[in-house]
Structure 1
Amino acid sequence: MSADTTTPAPGELIRFHNVTKRFGDTTVLDDLCFSVQPGKHVTLIGPSGSGKTTILRLLMTLESPDEGTIEVSGQRLFPAAEKERREARKQIGMVFQQFNLFPNMTVLRNLTEAPVRVLGLSKDEAAERAKGLLDLVGLADRADAKPTQLSGGQQQRVAIARALAMRPQVLLLDEVTSALDPELVAGVLDVLRDIARSTDITMLCVTHEMNFARDISDDVLMFDAGKVIESGSPEKMFSAPEHERTREFLGAVL
């Protein structure tokens, strides 16, 4: 993570410059500037309603900013023509709170559908890629199962594998354990730790799992009222935060 400048710095993968987003009379992102370097794992923390998930939804083009620019790997995401936006969007994968798997498809088909239709992979190539990812998330033996035959934790691991099947440069994680029973959380977080340690994928993560954030993050950003009020390494942010609001928030969640 780096301070923003008007001209993108070499190697920036994600860049928000003067981004404002409003819902009605409520400003959820307020002239936001930040950037993420390739291969970094950045975690966004802060109270509910502080704008963290809105950042991920903007990167997924599920929302549009009211002001400012967003770039991914030097490609303009906003403002941009729809064709340019689709191209930039291909570089981004997201895992949501809810699993959003196709219930009528097998686990394997859930992973191969988009690579075949969007990336133009052959079915054999997509299946080979999918099987490798299922092995990565510990579900190699469930390729022929339907999502309804899996536990919540297993479904979320399939959702992670499905996002990775598109070979994105950026993986967005939005409270991926919040819909899980407590005993299933550890398994999903362990998979994400393995991915963080064994791949060079860039991660932008929204989570209330502070131990997980401490383990996998290169940088932690504290949000409040649509702005980054403090940022730094996990060691600094969790052990010696400077901002009073950060100390209040961490005191409530740790």
Structure 2
Amino acid sequence: MPQSDNLPAGAAGHAPGEEPLIRFDKVVKRFGRNVVLRELDFTVDAGERVTLIGPSGSGKTTILRLLMTLERVNGGVIWVNGDSLSHMRRNGRLVPANEKHQREVRKKIGMVFQQFNLFPNMSVRRNITEAPVHTLGISREEADQRAEELLDMVGLRQKIDAHPTQLSGGQQQRVAIARALAMRPQILLLDEVTSALDPELVAGVLDVLREIARTTDITMLSVTHEMAFAKDVSHRVLMFDQGRIVEEGPPEQIFGDPHEERTKEFLHAVLEG
């Protein structure tokens, strides 16, 4: 049965008064004269799994970087669970958020990057436990237990005391997934997480993510060129081009019967190229 048959309550159509978990409201992002996002409006509901597809340079990764506050908006407002991520209230009006405000709202979000970004001088255990201990304030014992559980989930319990240089690229990426989940985020962002891997290592990482999608209610926002993965895990797929959403819908519609010519062109290039 397609995953999209099991939409969480409110997905892709909110009941009156419901607040989506993520909301972009007329968001603009520019790099110099290059407008990457053009008054973008889109939402993601709690528990929903949304995948962004489209050509390179269409603004997909920029959306994730804005949510992680690695970039700042040039216009519009980003909301996460009813709190503004990009702005904060001061004297009754919204002003650009400072770092402290962004850090607090960002605690709800975890991200897995294209590159693994593990600390090479730390063991797998410490890579996973340092942030929960120092940011969330949990005990070292609890953090260790959580690390063991997560490494079980990604099939790497036996590597807990290894260092990243002793792991394959696929193993490092699975550790990076465990590290992101150790912070108990409401939202997991996935940015082309298999693009830096050798082809034979891709399947193992995608299988881990499929299992997370199947067994948890975490909200997932993914950027990927792995179309089979997008079809398997998504409730909704958004096709981007030139900073705008060209088409959106359940995966069986987007991949089986796309309506827009630009979507058809992109999928033909990716699937047949």
Q: TM-score, normalization: structure 2?
A: 0.90
Match of 1:89 in 2: 106
Amino acid at match of 2:52: L
Let me know the Cα RMSD of the aligned residues: 1.2
Residues 3 and 34, structure 1, Cα contact 8 Å, conserved in 2: no
1:151-230 mapped onto 2 (5 Å cutoff)? 151-230=168-247
Secondary structure at the aligned position of 1:102 is classed as coil
Count of residue correspondences: 251
Match of 1:63 in 2: 71
Residue 17, structure 1, aligned to residue 34, structure 2: no
Cα distance in structure 2, aligned partners of 1:156 and 1:233: 28
Cα distance in structure 1, aligned partners of 2:162 and 2:119: 12
Secondary structure at the aligned position of 1:118 is classed as helix
Cα distance in structure 2, aligned partners of 1:32 and 1:91: 22
Residue 27, structure 1, aligned to residue 41, structure 2: no
Match of 1:146 in 2: 163
Cα distance in structure 1, aligned partners of 2:101 and 2:135: 15
Amino acid at match of 1:86: R
Contiguous gaps of at least 5 residues in structure 2: 1-10, 89-96
Shift of 1:226: 0.3
Pick aligned residue for 1:110 from 127, 142, 149: 127
Residue 41, structure 1, aligned to residue 49, structure 2: yes
Cα distance in structure 1, aligned partners of 2:17 and 2:195: 35
Q: Write out per-residue CA displacement over residues 36-61 of structure 1, whole angstroms, 9 at most, x where no aligned residue.
A: 00001100000000000000000000
Pick aligned residue for 2:259 from 242, 246, 253: 242
Cα distance in structure 2, aligned partners of 1:242 and 1:64: 33
Q: Write out per-residue CA displacement over residues 79-101 of structure 1, whole angstroms, 9 at most, x where no aligned residue.
A: 23323211110000000000000
Residues 3 and 33, structure 1, Cα contact 8 Å, conserved in 2: no
CA gap of 1:3–1:34, structure 2 versus 1, over 3 A, is farther
Shift of 1:18: 0.1
Amino acid at match of 2:53: I
Residue 73, structure 1, aligned to residue 81, structure 2: yes
Match of 2:58 in 1: 50
Cα distance in structure 2, aligned partners of 1:242 and 1:196: 27
Shift of 1:3: 7.0
Match of 2:92 in 1: none
Amino acid at match of 2:170: G
Residue 127, structure 1, aligned to residue 144, structure 2: yes
- Runs of at least 4 residues off by over 6 Å: none
Shift of 1:14: 0.3
Cα distance in structure 2, aligned partners of 1:133 and 1:74: 29
Q: Write out per-residue CA displacement over residues 191-211 of structure 1, whole angstroms, 9 at most, x where no aligned residue.
A: 000000000000000000000
